[in-house]
Amino acid sequence: MKQLLKYIYHRTIVGRIVMNLYHFINKKIVPERIYLKYRYKKHFGQFPDLKKPKTLNEKIIWLKLNDRTPLHTRCADKYEVRGFIKESIGEEYLVPLYFQTQDVNEIIADNLPDAQCIIKTNHDSGGGIFVLDKTKMNWEDIQQKLKQRMEKNYYPQSKEWQYKNIIPRVIIEKLLQNSKGDIPEDYKLHCFNGKVRMIQVDMGRGTSNHYRNWYNRDWQREPYKWSSPKGPGKYTDPSPDDVPRPKTLNKMISLSELIATHFDYVRVDWYDVDGKLYFGEITFHHDGGNKPILPEQWDLKLGSELILTKLKLQDVPKD
């Protein structure tokens, strides 16, 4: 039966129409809470406890539904967050911005610098388009790809409210490279209640040797793995090789904690370019709260360390 359904879905027009209708109803009509509970069940085999969440992933789902402010939207917007970072820690940590527009037709060679750069949209979680030589780019093709991305709203499939009201635009930034010409290491600092709890380091991104190591704030290896560099459901072990402790670690931690004062849980991303720190982005729901932490007891342990202040306030008797 499964093979028959797969055949109908992949090989027939009727199958595609039915599945597209199913996905439309699922993403845009099903209530958020139900959608998130069933999506969680798909990955964990059980429903999350959203009345008294205990694991870290359950608490991330709870935050999705209950922690929503205009600041969340501002910080999820890769263009608007620049103003927040300038106010919070200083504009010297911002990647140089070359151009921004809401009109994809303005993405042409004449509007780009001669320097290498990266083209992004501000409202989703996708990657960017690398421009190493603007004279060799197919700008019509790039405009078409950007148009498709600009028309999409990330909220329906993720139910991450902060993406819902972002005004889409294209931004062009300097392409960060170290002295060897390589893309710099990407450090992701996960903050609980204003303090850095653990640090995620990805190595070999975009290659078959993509590894993800986890460290605590003292740069000691953590004994778990979370998320899946190899693709959905295909966990890979962390790299046996250690990543050297970055010389900018203490500065990364202090700056991340200045940013994190506004949130119960937040992930702050950094690039270290030969000792010069650049802010990457802010993420509020790592992998949407839908990726198991292995071994499983670490999901519960890490969850016990994160205090949901709004949930705690609900337990306080009202006058």
Task: Output 182 or 10, whichever has higher pLDDT.
Answer: 182
Half-sphere exposure of 300 (CA within 13 A, CB side): 4
Average pLDDT score, the chain: 89
- Report angle CA 285, 287, 292 to the nearest 5 degrees: 115
pTM of the model: 0.88
- Name the pLDDT band for 276 (thresholds 50, 70, 90): very high
pLDDT digits (tens, 9 = 90+) for 141-177: 999 999 999 999 989 989 999 999 999 999 999 999 9
Q: How far apart are CA 103 and CA 14, in angstroms?
A: 36
pLDDT digits (tens, 9 = 90+) for 302-319: 999 999 998 866 654 444
Given a cut of 90, whether residue 205 has pLDDT beyond it is no
C-beta atoms surrounding 124 within 10 Å: 19
> How far apart are the C-alpha atoms of 96 and 132, rounded to whole Å?
16
Query: How many of the other CB atoms lie within 10 Å of CB of 209?
Result: 11
